[in-house]
Amino acid sequence: MERKYIQNILGIGKARFFALVAKYQDNPDTFSIQYRRTGTPRRISPELEKNIIQELAFEKTLIQDPAIPLRSYNYSYIRDRLQKKVSLPTIIHRAKQHGFYLKHPKRKVHDREVLTNYAGELLQHDASYHQWSPYAPEKWYLISTLDDFSRFILYARLVQKETSWAHISAMETLFLKYGLPYSFYVDSHSVFRFVQGRDSVWRKHVLHTDDTDTQWKQVLTDCGVKVLYALSPQAKGKIERSYGWLQDRLVRTCAREHVTHIHHAQRLLNTEVHRYNYQHIHSMTQEVPSVRLQQALKDNKSLFRPFVIKPPFVSSKDIFCLRLQRTLDGYRKVSVNNFVFKVNGHPYDEVELRIYPLNATLCEVRFWSEGKLIDVQKAKHTDLKLVHF
């Protein structure tokens, strides 16, 4: 009898056929092709079955709400919610059985390769504006920073307003914790870059794009960090991918926990960021981001530099701050939005005000002239009216 005929009868392939032949030759007396199941088939409990359906039904309500930025089911998230007591195929099977299944749209192959060779060589930084919780009265901004080499999320914070200070504060936290990177990668948002429009019949522009440094860029210049600009949303695909992962999970968790306050959402965000950094295997690197980052630091494959306060600066407040240029009048006074400071300097000197917010109501104003710190004063935010910063 030919081998192919036997394979056709048994419904097996060539490799399986020879495996059975080897098994027969080892012990022909006890050889059998009958499969014997040991034990009883494992079934999930009725309570767990009920929880799966409840989670799927809740997912459906979120997807159908046009105000919530979710358009598909996340079965892996449901498995994590059930503490991995049930397998992913089982959840998908129940979803198909009960009408909680949507076909995924055909996507382009993920080809965003890692183009950097060192940790800290390129940090991607951006902000995302969404309704993170359906129970919150407003949308919030998520500001985050990602290391391109390891895909490790270095910074993630929810804020109510996207301002220059929000991004400067993010850099302060990041640089003091991890050190100075080689370069920053951002889009052309007005916080990051001064972009001037074209001349027209009615207006001739004097300043051109990049002729003026923004508050945010001046901080990076003082730190000696290079800035690179993305010219399209597609060019920021790597950080947008991490945003998608965080958004997909954070929105779902905020909805389930009826989050109404940004501080509650921030605690949940911290949990998801920890999961992404220390448990999630990245699809491109095939490594856990924290493991990849630590290995790079161990192998000296890092371009992070220690943050050092260089002269003439005397404090980190002189670097991570907002800046204004003024000239002292004959009475050694300067004003900011009609709020007058009397400064310990010389009349008609050019001074730079470096403003560091201390808390939600008070800031510290540090006066510099000719490379020297000449005075330090306090002022309320409401008096300075630095809303646009």
| Residue pLDDT, tens place only, 127-164 | 989 889 989 999 999 999 999 999 999 999 999 999 99
pLDDT at 41 exceeding the cut of 70? no
Average pLDDT over residues 199-211: 54
Helix (H, G, I), strand (E, B) or coil at 154: strand
State percent of the chain over pLDDT 70: 86
pLDDT band per the 50, 70, 90 thresholds, residue 328:
very high
Amino acid at 298: K
Average pLDDT over residues 105-128: 75
Q: What are the tens digits of pLDDT across the range 266-303?
A: 999 999 999 999 998 887 888 999 999 999 999 999 99
Helix (H, G, I), strand (E, B) or coil at 272: helix
pLDDT at 258 exceeding the cut of 90? yes
Question: Residue 57's pLDDT is what?
Answer: 92
**Cα(207)–Cα(104) distance, rounded to whole angstroms?**
48
DSSP-assigned letter for residue 316: G
Beta-bridge partner residues of 129 = 141
Question: Residue 33's pLDDT is what?
Answer: 73
Region class of 6: left (phi > 0), else alpha (psi between -120 and 50), else beta: alpha
Question: Residue 200's pLDDT is what?
Answer: 53
- Quote the pTM value: 0.77
pLDDT band per the 50, 70, 90 thresholds, residue 111:
very low
Average pLDDT over residues 187-200: 73
- Range list of β-strands (E), 56-202: 123-130, 140-147, 153-159, 183-186
Question: Residue 110's pLDDT is what?
Answer: 46
pLDDT at 233 exceeding the cut of 70? no
**Cα(142)–Cα(239) distance, rounded to whole angstroms?**
12
pLDDT at 352 exceeding the cut of 90? yes
Q: Find the helix or strand (DSSP H, E) in which 235 lies.
A: none
Question: Residue 211's pLDDT is what?
Answer: 57
268: tokens are 């949940």
